[in-house]
Amino acid sequence: MPDVNLAVFLDPLALALIGGGTLLATAMRGTARDLGNAFAALPRLFRGLPFDFAVARAEVIAAERLSKSKPVLTLDPATPADRDVREALLAIADGASPDMVEQLLDSARAERLERHRAVENFWAAAAEIAPAMGMIGTLFGLVRMFARMDDPAAIGSAMAVALLSTLYGALIANLIAGPIAARLRRLSDIEEHQRAALIPELRALALRQSPSFARRSA
């Protein structure tokens, strides 16, 4: 089996041009917060969903059982782990109607989706920009090469920048940024589907806590 020298595929100048250029061009499309959120979301790729459906549903069921033993639902504000579920249950304890609870959850969903889409768009934009930056790096390397045709020792390094720039652009787009954007979008879709499954149960709990329901049950 022939030896493969992987060192020939590493060129710091080309990597700095393509990696740095892609990051800069992508960051300029959004805000500093978008940049921070984009990198802060990377641990989700390995940890999975931040929302635990089983835990959230168990907390709703526990609140439902508690509501059957007390005329007015009382909750420890720190008990539900998920913020949206906690705020929904606290609203129910304060007498919110089913429609009010759903509106609260819809508002939280809209804010969450806006954050998620900004992060996904950041990485999708990086996947779009990287090949173009690779072409720019290639042109940069070719210019260096033709400018030093009288120096054979410099031609090799300039050619390496030209060729590896295209390679780096393709790798960043297809093996890094593109897959990150797709996975984050998939995780977001799964989370929203699971959260939506809790809405009917929270509405039903709010209905049972409403004064009109209590009068009918009396």
Give the Cβ contact number of residue 163 at 10 Å: 17
Q: pLDDT digit string (tens) for 81-98?
A: 888 998 998 898 888 899
d(Cα 22, Cα 16) in Å, to the nearest integer?
10
Contact criterion met (CB below 8 Å) for 84 and 202: no
Quote the CA–CA distance of 137 and 120 in Å, as a whole number. 26
pLDDT at 11 over 50: yes
Q: What are the domain boundaries of the chain?
A: 11-42+50-212
* Alpha-carbon gap, residue 140 to 162, rounded angstroms: 7
* Contact (CB, 8 A) for 14 and 144: no
CA 211 – CA 56 distance, rounded (Å): 26
- Determine contact, residues 100/91, Cβ cutoff 8 Å: yes
Alpha-carbon gap, residue 165 to 149, rounded angstroms: 20
Contact 120, 188 (CB under 8 A): yes
Q: What is the average pLDDT across 3-9?
A: 69
Which DSSP string do the residues of 124-186 spell out, in sequence order? HHHHHHHHHHHHHHHHHHHHHHHHTTT-HHHHHHHHHHHHHHHHHHHHIIIIIIHHHHHHHHH
Q: What is the pLDDT of residues 152-199, one digit of tens each?
A: 777 878 888 889 999 999 999 999 999 999 999 999 999 999 999 999
Residue 2 pLDDT: 56
Task: Return the pLDDT at 3.
Answer: 60
Judge whether residue 16 has pLDDT over 70: yes
Task: Evaluate if residue 127 carries a pLDDT over 80.
Answer: yes
Q: For residue 1, what pLDDT is reported?
A: 46
Distances (CA, A) of 101 to 51, 111, 168: 19, 16, 49
Among 69, 66, 95, 97, CA closest to 80: 66
